[in-house]
Structure 1
């Protein structure tokens, strides 16, 4: 590392954060840790975000990048590639760092020899007041530390619980992982954490080092009501590749209570175990992935024979399974008949009212 090379690169992405960006920038510049550079990537904001950032450019720690709007993955990747530090600390233009965030994460990385670190967060509202009320993120960001196997299992069954704006990760690891998925706008962080836990330990500091803002307008990209159809699509694509490059040892350790045959081996048996595991998910679209895998696997006579002998699962069981498959994510579930009847009643009522009006 060169004499003037920073140890940490804070990469902040921002888009139309004029209400919050000033406080967010100041929270980084006022860190107790001094050896850092501050890369701000403005993803084509159309409000006064650019003007506010420009007012801070007399601070030589800041590297400012303005790009046309391309989405959060393109923005954060741009910042990572520009970074000179050994470590990347992620940040968003609507959140706030506590003053000792960088110092505590750097100390923790040296003390625990951990290369990927997250922390707990406080939740704040639009006016930076601490939130005590219920909200969508309250129950999953401040989780206890887990082993790699426990993290993989939790990500599979429960989705993401790691807060991206608390991430403190060695740059080389992110480069090795291929950076964030450009095709994803809502779940790119979930996709990244899955890739990382397949190879590395991940630690969560049980201390609140960032204030995470819950927007009054529900514009947090992770909010469940924000483009849930696209979120479902992205989830499906991510889950299709969930077990790529997962070693058989990590798989067995992570899902030992869900495995059908504890003595399964690499190859066909491992692929069958993956398919059966998908069927254990609470998410319809994930169960569908398992059914799809079995649909294609069992077309091979050799695989079919192994499935019947080792798992008592053959074509008859596949037909029974696919008879209940819901390819529309619950639209035609066992509950929808009732809703359909209500819908038809409303339609008929509307027709009667219209007929009376016309008459």
Structure 2
């Protein structure tokens, strides 16, 4: 029986010592038997190196950045070190189910080489039971397959692809694309997919094969900067689809409004909301939750200020 193609698993991490072992263990439990696991430590300061050396020894390849460079750079370091025919990405706060790699590689192996990547269904865990409930009642669109015809769904946020942890990609394709764009601190997966779909086709495995955990909120600065870069890089695509009647800018303004509200910047959030397209019902709920979070943030900050003043 022929040896199955080598798959390189790339796990970028930064200060996630409590979550990282679950991700690594889920990669080690894969039923696929020809894996190399590459953990790229983006200059963690929480004892990640010591933990990995003690717990995993020769089971993984450990690489470390000497300064913090961001998730995209960490993934690119993993791509450069990879020896496999395929590369599978796993965020350090997510977990794979045991048959994920096996089923996604099998899907690619049965297709022609113009199918360059696969993604799969997933379970999204949420810190808010209300958001998780609405996710179940009003699920986002998923299951699309193809090439350039999927660009519309990506641009209009109608494509629940699951992010980097969902993807298994041909290494030759990633090299042709020069990997991830290291300027992006957010939207890295969408940015890569938009370029990938202009290069080849994306296949789908219709099974929940990993758990995507909601482990924290990105900084407002990273969100705003990455949104600006995204609009600049894909300005011609965005213009093309807006001429067809899709309000891409309005969708992005809605997302930015939500992040400003979450950080208690209600006036700025309102400015973007007035320029936003009308959201789906499920998204309107997330804006309300963002407003509630912003109010709590402002109250907590006010309490700290008053307490600090009285202490002086």
Query: TM-score scaled to structure 2, two decimals?
Result: 0.70
Aligned CA RMSD, in angstroms, stands at 3.4
Shift in Å, 1:125:
5.2
For 1:122 and 1:189, how far apart are their aligned partners in 2?
A: 18
Residues 108-151 of structure 1: CA deviation (Å, up to 9, x unaligned): 1112343210011112357xx9x943469x844x6022332431
Between 1:32-41 and 1:228-237, the stretch displaced more is 228-237
Task: Verify: 1:32 aligned to 2:31, yes or no.
Answer: yes
For 2:244 and 2:177, how far apart are their aligned partners in 1?
A: 24
Q: Which residue of 1 aligns with 2:228?
A: 233
Task: Verify: 1:91 aligned to 2:90, yes or no.
Answer: yes
Shift in Å, 1:178:
1.6
**Number of aligned positions between the proteins:** 253
For 2:230 and 2:88, how far apart are their aligned partners in 1?
A: 25
- After TM superposition, the runs of 4+ consecutive aligned structure 1 residues lying more than 3 A away are 131-136, 225-228, 284-287, 332-336
For 1:176 and 1:92, how far apart are their aligned partners in 2?
A: 23
Shift in Å, 1:170:
0.4
For 1:205 and 1:93, how far apart are their aligned partners in 2?
A: 22
* 1:270-289 to 2 correspondences below 5 Å: 274=240, 277=243, 280-284=246-250
* Cα separation, partners in 2 of 1:28 and 1:334, compared to 1, 3 Å: closer
Shift in Å, 1:165:
0.7
* 1:107-122 to 2 correspondences below 5 Å: 107-113=106-112, 114-122=115-123
For 2:171 and 2:149, how far apart are their aligned partners in 1?
A: 24
Structure 2 unaligned residues grouped into runs of 5+: 254-267, 277-312
Q: Which residue of 2 aligns with 1:185?
A: 185
For 2:272 and 2:6, how far apart are their aligned partners in 1?
A: 54
Residues 249-278 of structure 1: CA deviation (Å, up to 9, x unaligned): xxxxxxxxxxxxxxxxxxxxxxxx838627
For 2:135 and 2:16, how far apart are their aligned partners in 1?
A: 21
* 1:18-167 to 2 correspondences below 5 Å: 18-59=17-58, 61-67=59-65, 68-113=67-112, 114-124=115-125, 132-134=132-134, 139-140=139-140, 143-158=142-157, 161-163=160-162, 164-167=164-167
Residues 57-76 of structure 1: CA deviation (Å, up to 9, x unaligned): 423x4110011210011100
Q: Which residue of 2 aligns with 1:212?
A: 212
Between 1:103-112 and 1:65-74, the stretch displaced more is 103-112
Task: Name which one, 1 or 2, has greater alpha-carbon Rg.
Answer: 1
* 1:171-182 to 2 correspondences below 5 Å: 171-182=171-182
* Cα separation, partners in 2 of 1:148 and 1:329, compared to 1, 3 Å: farther
Q: Secondary structure at the match of 1:283?
A: helix
For 1:8 and 1:30, how far apart are their aligned partners in 2?
A: 14
For 1:172 and 1:160, how far apart are their aligned partners in 2?
A: 25
* Cα separation, partners in 2 of 1:333 and 1:66, compared to 1, 3 Å: closer
Shift in Å, 1:187:
1.3
Query: TM-score scaled to structure 1, two decimals?
Result: 0.62
* Cα separation, partners in 2 of 1:88 and 1:335, compared to 1, 3 Å: closer
Q: Which residue of 2 aligns with 1:317?
A: none
Conservation of the 8 A alpha-carbon contact between 2:118 and 2:168:
yes
